Amino acid sequence: MNNTTPSSDNASSAFNKFNKKWIGIVLLVIFAGAGFMYFSKSANNNKESKGAHAVKAIPVVTAIAKTDDVHVYLSGLGAVTPLATVIVKSRVDGEIMKVNFKEGQMVKRGDVLVEIDARPYEAALMQAEGQLMRDKALLADAKLDLARYQTLLKQDSIASQQVDTQQALVRQYEGTVKIDEGLLATAKLNLAYTKVTAPVSGRVGLRQVDVGNIAHASDTTGLAIITQLQPMSVLFSLPEDTIPALMKKIKVDNKIAVNAFDRAYKEKITSGVLETIDNQIDPTTGMVKLRATFANTELSLFPSQFVNAQVLLETKNNVVTIPGAAVQYGRDKSFAFVVGKDHTVSQRPIVVGTVQGNKSEIVSGLASGEMVVVDGADKLRDGSKVDISSNVDQASSGAKTGIKHSGKHNANKL
């Protein structure tokens, strides 16, 4: 006997329909959520992929390797040393009547600096002239007597002894005249010394005396000090290891160029030539002294000033050069990042020769016209993509500041 009633069957059927409906809704929500997560993840992956691709193009600054001349220099610290420094002294005693110079004035050789009272020396000159005139008259009279005596001797009218005595007197007067002439020359010289002149051309230092002082030839302080400024010399030292190359250069060229830079080695002061090299090496320092001379037309070199002397040893013509910032140093080699046509860099081993300021000679590894990375190399690896558009910004900013940039791809040239 079946106890199931029609009402219970209907309720069960309604419940099953209700469960199936909700199960469908739940499954639909699950599939929709899974699809949303899938597409969101794909979009994020695409964004990350695009972002990663954008990071690979690293902005850098580049330069073009070019053919140029490189100068090889030897440098040493030195001091400006005048060729002449003279203490001007009086050579006679007397009162100073005039001082014809100002402190710091430029004077020429022969200019009268100080005038000393000349009256005593003028009187001495007159006395010497009078004495010479008197003794010349005595000599002339003695010569006339000698001529008469010689005539009488030929006539056998006088003794030969008297002739000899007269001849000795003539010689005595001749000696006296010579002495008088010497005294006259001394008097003229002393009179000339009353005007103290500049022995060299140069600049006068601080004045040592004033008008009214008594000058003595024995004074140690002197009247003034003159320092020659044109030409000027620089004494500097170089290591003994540089002597062979320097001596080889001297044999070939007698006029070796020398540049003088300021103490900080930032500004070139003037140019001159190497004058001489010392004959021995200082055993305590292992250095050799050299002297260079400079025309110093603009008076830019001052006595006792410290300068850096730069000797031009050699000029290498038509060599490949790049900026020093483009040279990278590894553990056992030097290299540079070379930019290819596809804006991909390659790490290229190079051999660096002479370094001149911000210019480096490349012995091997690069050719003229190749592009190298100057700034931003610390972020690069072999095969990295680079963006050189920053060179355009640098060129425009350089135009504003007066700096010019040129070359392929707006790269900076040396």
405 or 163, which is more confident? 163
- Percentage of the chain modeled with pLDDT above 70: 80
1 — pLDDT class (breaks 50, 70, 90): very low
Q: What is the mean pLDDT of residues 185-198?
A: 95
> What pairs with residue 63 in β-bridges?
372, 412
> What is the per-residue pLDDT for 388?
81
Task: Judge whether 44 lies within some domain.
Answer: no
| 254 and 376 both lie in a single domain | yes
Tokens for 37, please give them.
């997560």
Alpha helical stretches, state H, 211-335: 243-252
> What is the per-residue pLDDT for 36?
59
Task: Judge whether 35 lies within some domain.
Answer: no
pLDDT digits (tens, 9 = 90+) for 288-347: 999 999 999 999 999 999 999 999 888 888 999 999 888 988 877 899 999 988 888 888
Q: How far is CA 381 from CA 57, 102, 214, 285, in A?
A: 12, 70, 84, 46
| 294 and 188 both lie in a single domain | no
**Rounded to an integer, what distance in angstroms lies between the CA atom of residue 332 and that of residue 42?**
47
> What is the per-residue pLDDT for 253?
82
Check which CATH number belongs to the domain holding 97 and give it. Answer: 2.40.50.100
Check which CATH number belongs to the domain holding 402 and give it. Answer: 2.40.30.170
> What is the per-residue pLDDT for 275?
92
Instruction: Kindly report the backbone phi and psi dihedral angles of residue 257, in degrees, each rounded to the nearest multiple of 5, phi listed first.
Output: -70, 140
Q: Which domain holds residue 163?
A: 118-193
| 71 and 97 both lie in a single domain | no
Task: Judge whether 6 lies within some domain.
Answer: no
Contact 361, 316 (CB under 8 A): yes
| 162 and 289 both lie in a single domain | no
Strands 306-323 vs 257-261: parallel, antiparallel or unpaired = antiparallel
pLDDT digits (tens, 9 = 90+) for 72-85: 888 999 999 999 99
| 177 and 298 both lie in a single domain | no
Buried b (16+ CB within 10 A) or exposed e, 93-121: bbebeebebeeeeebeeebebbbbbbebb
> What pairs with residue 359 in β-bridges?
323, 356
**Rounded to an integer, what distance in angstroms lies between the CA atom of residue 177 and that of residue 179?**
5
Instruction: Provide CB contacts within 8 A for 238, sequence distance 6+.
Output: 74, 76, 246, 287, 288, 290, 311
* Residue (of 342, 408, 350, 346) closest to 373 by Cα position: 346
Task: Judge whether 55 lies within some domain.
Answer: no
> What is the per-residue pLDDT for 198?
95
Task: Judge whether 315 lies within some domain.
Answer: yes
| 211 and 306 both lie in a single domain | no
* Residue (of 364, 283, 287, 277) closest to 320 by Cα position: 364
Instruction: Provide CB contacts within 8 A for 235, sequence distance 6+.
Output: 78, 79, 81, 289, 290, 291
Last-in-domain residue among 227, 248, 282: 227
> What is the per-residue pLDDT for 259?
93
Q: Phi-psi category of 220—alpha, beta or left, where left has phi over 0 and alpha has psi -120 to 50?
A: alpha
> What is the per-residue pLDDT for 214?
93
Task: Judge whether 45 lies within some domain.
Answer: no
Task: Judge whether 339 lies within some domain.
Answer: yes
> What is the per-residue pLDDT for 413?
36
Instruction: Kindly report the backbone phi and psi dihedral angles of residue 157, in degrees, each rounded to the nearest multiple of 5, phi listed first.
Output: -110, 0
Instruction: Write out the E strands in 83-181.
Output: 85-88, 94-99, 106-107, 112-116
Instruction: Kindly report the backbone phi and psi dihedral angles of residue 329, in degrees, each rounded to the nearest multiple of 5, phi listed first.
Output: -120, 125
Instruction: Write out the E strands in 324-404.
Output: 328-329, 334-339, 345-356, 359-364, 371-375, 385-387
| 290 and 150 both lie in a single domain | no
Last-in-domain residue among 174, 204, 227: 227
378 or 117, which is more confident? 117
Instruction: Provide CB contacts within 8 A for 288, sequence distance 6+.
Output: 237, 238, 239, 240, 243, 277, 278, 280, 281, 282
| 234 and 220 both lie in a single domain | no
| 352 and 305 both lie in a single domain | yes
Domains: count for the chain: 3
> Using only C-alpha atoms, what is the Rg of the chain?
50
Task: Judge whether 163 lies within some domain.
Answer: yes
| 249 and 158 both lie in a single domain | no
44 — pLDDT class (breaks 50, 70, 90): low
| 214 and 241 both lie in a single domain | no
pLDDT digits (tens, 9 = 90+) for 25-34: 666 666 666 6
| 204 and 246 both lie in a single domain | no
What's the mean pLDDT when you consider all of the chain? 83
> What is the per-residue pLDDT for 330?
82
Tokens 């794909």 correspond to 42
Contact 269, 301 (CB under 8 A): yes
Angle at 141 between CA 138 and CA 144, to 5 degrees: 150
